[in-house]
Structure 1
Amino acid sequence: MSLLRVLDISATGMSAQSVRLNTTASNLANANSVSSSAEQTYRSRQPIFAAELNRAQGGLSSDVGVKVQGIVESDAPLNKEYAPNHPKSDADGFIYHSNVNVMEEMANMISASRAYQTNVQIADAAKQMLSRTLQMGKG
């Protein structure tokens, strides 16, 4: 595998982790949202990643990266609260809170941040190796 492919792979990893961080930020921003119906209530979202394997010319060379297949909503139950005096309560006096778990989202944020940082370090190491290879050609 060439070092240029390493840069491509780490770039797909950084892009995927960026999507993960954006999704986490959206979840945290809506963690305290309230609605008058279960259908309108914000639900936690998570990106779905898949390894991407491209075989070139007879399967001798492979390039592996990360692909974001999509973002799915959580099917965890919403938090239903009886609050008849709340301005957003439904006809029965209930309000619905988002199913975002703030602790899980914070852990996701830390994990995504570290994975992004690792991909940056991989790209930097590949860049240094390419630079050293060019320096060898000068000597």
Structure 2
Amino acid sequence: MSLFNIFNVAGSGMSAQSVRLNTTASNIANADSVSSSVGETYRARHPIFEAEMSKAQQHQSASASVAVKGIVESDLPLNKEFAPDHPMADTDGFIYKPNVNVMEEMANMISASRSYQMNVQVTEAAKSMLQQTLRIGK
């Protein structure tokens, strides 16, 4: 593996974790939203990552970057609450809340933040090794 490939792998990891952080932040921001119908209610979203190992194996390279394949909505049931006095209540007196678990989202945010931080440290270590290698040639 070339030392320059480390920057590509770490960069793709930082990009993927950035998408994860943004998705998690969106979930937390919409956790308390209310709707009067199932179709209008916010649903938790999660990114799907794909390690590009197959491409790396075809090129006989030892490095594999990370790609965001897509963002999917959670299929967990929405929270239905009986609140006939709420202005957003439907004709039966129910309001619908997102299927966002704030505790899980906070754990996801911490994990994504740590992963991003680790990729930054890998980049800094590779940069330091490259600088030391260049100093040897002087």
| TM-score normalised by L of structure 2 | 0.95
Q: Is the 8 A contact 2:14 2:119 kept in 1?
A: yes
**What is the match of residue 7 of structure 2?**
7
Asked if 1:31 corresponds to 2:31, the answer is yes
Structure 1 residues 1-139: aligned runs within 5 Å: 1-53=1-53, 54-55=55-56, 59-138=59-138
Task: Give the number of the structure whose residues are more often strand, by fraction.
Answer: 1
- Measured in 2, the distance between the counterparts of 1:13 and 1:61 equals 17
Task: Provide the aligned C-alpha RMSD in A.
Answer: 1.2
Give a deviation string over 1:82-134, Cα, whole Å, max 9, x none.
Answer: 11111100011100011100000000000000000000000000001100110
Runs of 4+ in 1 over 3 A off after TM superposition: none
Alpha-carbon offset, residue 67 of structure 1: 0.3
Structure 1: runs of 5+ lacking an equivalent = none
Aligned residue pair count: 137
- What is the CA–CA distance in structure 2 between the aligned matches of 1:10 and 1:62, rounded to whole Å? 14
Normalization by structure 1: what TM-score? 0.95
Structure 2: runs of 5+ lacking an equivalent: none
Partner AA of 2:12 in structure 1: T
The percentage of counterpart residues that share the same residue type is 65
